[in-house]
Structure 1
């Protein structure tokens, strides 16, 4: 069987070695005679699996004991509500930076729970840049500052980590584990799994422990971070199969050399693709060069009438899911950790040939 190169923004490519391992263990997980999907989350085998996954993630990201690591459900979209429900506290106010559709959705949801100050926005230029921190208008009484380091849809990525005197909250769904990160600079990090962690269905939350316990009495138990921290993320039945696959991805990342090695590979992949686009008169990328995403590379053709042919021919060549988000159009290649460098090379070869025939 020939595997396609998958450039989907999410659910995204998974490492082939992880899929093979899951196939081998599908019917009999560690000699139990059962699939991991069939086992109670209270079983010692599953508890050990979950604990190992957390340990591996802590190792990869250098997460100290000052932080709780939670494996939850609901995707990043549920975190748009859980963050303000847990962190607004008595302040009732938070600062948000608006750099694209995901931060916009987070702002809209947070406004259900308190006063939200949009301290900076790049909407004036169609979200093609990240506002310099010197231009931010932060509140003195904000409970936290929220931003999205990488906007999956627009392909915009911050080239700096903000320096703020309030807890910094980051939606890292599309950039987590793609390179080294100093977790100690953040109060809370959340990430949907379906890009760089594993399959859809599980969400990682890394929250500084001093931020737990701030949810009001009206916050439901399932929406309270402290509930999950106190119960090992097993207050209810967790998505055990997604957790298991995420754990396999963490092990695979360690085998590749960890986030340092992945950062070098990801930088090389992105430089190759952007370099080709910039050298072409046929393709273009609208994002400020210093703030282009390593993970999500949008591009447009000089003649949009060719979009349909480009996608059909790319699909036939085994280059899948290159259509841009419906809200922006064009093309988008998502080149997460599990997308090999050979996939980027194959895409560039195809793009060059398509340009030669249609330019």
Structure 2
């Protein structure tokens, strides 16, 4: 015989003879109620078809166990990977993660912030667009709800940020490219969506100056999140026009570099560091596909798992010990040089 369906906690309370507050305690932590009460609830669960709506239960608490996780574009494998790690960290700590993507649209980022506010999250892990975000809205949100920024931040907003040290990582790549061949030109978006692009440009300029070489910045026209297509079209155009004064191109992210690799192949330009190669191409981020390009892409690896773990632990500390500021501030992690065949 099918079990009788119970639709809400009030009805389940009536059939099992346990108060609603005690049921809420049980569903949050079974060991928090007496053994005899726990047995009574478990017997009722075996008899009736009922599962609580965890989000609804959370809404009735003064402090919920919901954690919002928002990224600019979940279709981007970089954000899929780092979002997955953050989500797992929340699960492991007993929180209920709510993952949202802004799909490359700043207006949707603002809408998602309003949605998260209505869900009364205990805290939010946020990778913002940056300069094209609704800065006033993000600032107000971060004042009202514990927020840890990860991957990218907005200067002057929020108490905590965890990400890669772009100064260190870009200098590491520039140093390698300079000592292993001709100094690099920088290939970037003219109007980048992510604030890391601007930080990497500044880091490139400073590193080239330290190494005693002139900087050459080449900016790709185009907007949106189709970095491979932009890298292929604009990179191919610049290669055809011999726009790069050296044979080494450092792309501000791996997706642009993947597009440029495609353009080089179409133009019959051999990429790599051998004597028969005409061009070297490098990127940044260690995109999940970068090891499978042809040739495989030299890049900077960001420690996705460590960024996720540090960001999540910082947020949990802010939620559980709001008076302590020990875990707050800016945490910058070193990037790792990954030498492959493209440079």
Shorter-chain TM-score category?
Answer: 0.3 to 0.5
Query: Please, what TM-score do these two structures have when normalized by structure 2?
Result: 0.33
